[in-house]
Chain A
């Protein structure tokens, strides 16, 4: 009996130790994610003695897993989430309110403004910005100089003119590369670049049926249909294929994040940057005052049901340290959210130094979809607009009337999703 009690006691102690020093973290897979996680977990363990079990998932599966977690109340202690998910996840009540802990993580002033705006709604903080996905205009600087074109294109007119010249000169048949499926995020960017949005300022009404929204969608739809500046095969492409096309010389303008350099062999991207063939700039606006682009990225949230909240907060604080922000930028080519991180030596390394400086500036002028509890249910409709425009083009039915009817249809769908929260 004595022996049994001793063994039981030991088991309880060992289990307690294991659970106290082990943390579950769900991370989205992507280029360099595993290398980063391996190194970060090792450093964190050395610093705190806490072990982190990283579970990788894809962006597509991530949401389903989060829903299962919300439904069951069981899941990882810390989760990486898309910035556009924060509002909906906050509304589920399944995540920890971190408003009182902001000072522990360095305070709001330590973060870039754009990413900080994604931390929650109603002045509450439920998510900490981990890294930013800043979408810039990445373009062929050498071709702009060769043909004396606006460098960089600052307005829609500049972009259209430069693309037409490149096409006319026989340089590139389809100079503009905007993805035709998945989360292109440019639907939002073109709206913001025309001083409008998807939801009205009071958050009550969807305004996709407005004249400005029509102008915005018509602009990029015309680059596909009317002016043939975008290839119909973009309908089958994601960012990877477009970035490869860019470095193959088949695309002159695209809207990616800093990770575009990872999509080809580093020798190629580095040589292009060294030879000043690539320019990185804030996306053009309808006029110069309206230049902006999508800034999203990833935030970190703690499960409300976690029994290791203190360890979870330590892990998040660790991930926000400047050296770790530099490490993730080095492995995944994503932008830090913590201002001071840009002073790390990595961001001064050539040939990337100028690119990082540009992305930091662009991040400050970026825009984001609303952090609204209903946005999660609305977000999915946005890329469907892209699919429908490309489909209409393939069917030969893309015209102004079609664009208007699509926007009316999505206005209704989105309003319905918005109302579902009320």
Chain B
């Protein structure tokens, strides 16, 4: 018996070995390299031989956090707003869509399918369309709002502070269908007897939602919250596509900021330092996710 166990263990190890090796090559080594770079003055002059880039201690970190890089803290602030509002938006839309489409009515499956389109479409397609719709002079959104008399002057959705609002909308648009379909799955797993019992006891709709629906789907919501926060925190595509790569401060969230610093300003050392700080924030989110997953399992 023992030999079977050890054989199957050895088989299992061999099966996961390629994945582990790939992870080491693709994730761990570049991460370690990134940390090393963050302590060096690696710029365009040293890129042909990065080992010659002078060691500068924490200078890159100091620059990133100092007044010169106040952009970092501003960017972190906007990133936090971006993450929090994205999660709230996805939650509200997801739960509303799931509750409405959990009811039995004709055409329900068709609507469920249609609502998944933003998730199925490549993000770049959805976001490019959103960008066109939000153009100040030629976009359909301003045109409609002006036609129905809500605004007198076109709004610059992609410029200034409004750009933050726009990238949040774009992020919610491509992510909320995952919330919707996952919560719907959660709702369908709630036994109907619970609702019948609540009805017999004279519970109101709100009480039923609060006492039965919400607790039943809370594990799903917790995981979705952490995942959406994680994906939003390191999101690059949404602000890049919506702002055409030239973001105003409000849309210059951390991942885009790091890319600009590294690959446009050619300051790889400082870009790496900012990435390490970002990684620490991400680790907090990942630890939260793992802890919550463990709690769910328990």
Contact = CB atoms under 8 A, between A and B. Distances in A.
B159 A232 contact: yes
A391 B250 CA distance: 9
Contacts of B158: 235-236
Query: Looking at A60, A70, A391, A416, which has the most chain B CB atoms within 10 Å of its CB?
Result: A391
B135 interface: yes
Contacts of A387: 246-248
Nearest to B251: A391
A391 B265 contact: no
Query: Looking at B67, B160, B162, B248, which has the most chain A CB atoms within 10 Å of its CB?
Result: B160
A421 interface: yes
Nearest to B155: A394
Interface in A91-117: 91-94
A410 to B, nearest CB: 11
A156 B267 CA distance: 37
A417 B267 contact: yes
A233 interface: yes
B48 A94 contact: yes
A235 B45 contact: no
A94 B138 CA distance: 45
Interface in B249-298: 249-250, 260, 263-267
A88 B160 CA distance: 32
B44 A181 contact: no
A390 interface: yes
Contacts of A393: 159-160
Given A92-B47, A387-B247, A236 B136 contact: yes
Contacts of A384: 246
Contact of A395 (B161, B244, B247): B161
B48 A92 contact: yes
Contacts of B44: 67, 70, 88, 91-92, 376-377
Interface in A371-422: 373, 376-377, 380-381, 383-384, 387-388, 390-395, 412-413, 416-417, 420-421
A233 B156 CA distance: 7
A392 B160 contact: yes
Interface in B216-258: 244-250
B156 A235 contact: yes
A394 B160 contact: yes
Contacts of B43: 377, 420
Contacts of A417: 265, 267
A394 B156 CA distance: 7
Contacts of A92: 44-45, 47-48
Contact of B45 (A63, A180, A181, A421): A421
Nearest to B263: A64
Interface residues of B, number: 35
B68 interface: yes
Contacts of A420: 41, 43, 267
B137 A233 contact: yes
Contact of A60 (B47, B160, B245, B260): B245
Nearest to A89: B44
Interface string B128-160: 000000011110000000000000001010111
A233 B142 CA distance: 12
B130 to A, nearest CB: 13
B112 interface: no
Contacts of A180: 159
A71 interface: yes
Contacts of A322: none
B48 A377 contact: no
A358 B138 CA distance: 34
A182 interface: yes
Given A93-B48, A412-B68, A377 B159 contact: no
Given A236-B159, A377-B265, A70 B47 contact: yes
Contacts of B244: 181-182, 236
B209 interface: no
Given A380-B260, A391-B249, A236 B135 contact: yes
Contacts of A233: 135-138, 154, 156
Contacts of A390: 159-160, 248
Contacts of A64: 263
B55 interface: no
A393 B136 CA distance: 14
Given A394-B156, A394-B160, A70 B48 contact: yes
A351 interface: no
B69 to A, nearest CB: 9
Query: Looking at A73, A377, A390, A394, which has the most chain B CB atoms within 10 Å of its CB?
Result: A394
A377 B269 CA distance: 13
A231 interface: yes
A416 B68 contact: yes
A387 to B, nearest CB: 5
Given A235-B158, A376-B266, 14 more contacts: A67-B47, A71-B48, A88-B44, A88-B45, A182-B246, A232-B159, A233-B136, A233-B138, A236-B158, A381-B265, A393-B159, A394-B161, A394-B162, A412-B68
Interface of A: 60, 63-64, 67, 70-71, 73, 88, 91-94, 180-182, 231-233, 235-236, 373, 376-377, 380-381, 383-384, 387-388, 390-395, 412-413, 416-417, 420-421
25 contacts: A63-B263, A64-B263, A67-B263, A67-B266, A88-B44, A88-B266, A91-B44, A92-B45, A92-B48, A182-B244, A232-B156, A233-B154, A233-B156, A235-B156, A236-B135, A236-B136, A376-B266, A377-B44, A380-B260, A387-B246, A394-B160, A395-B161, A417-B267, A420-B41, A421-B45
Q: Which 8 residue pairs spanning A and B have beta carbons closest together?
A: A394-B160, A391-B248, A181-B246, A233-B136, A394-B159, A235-B159, A395-B160, A380-B264
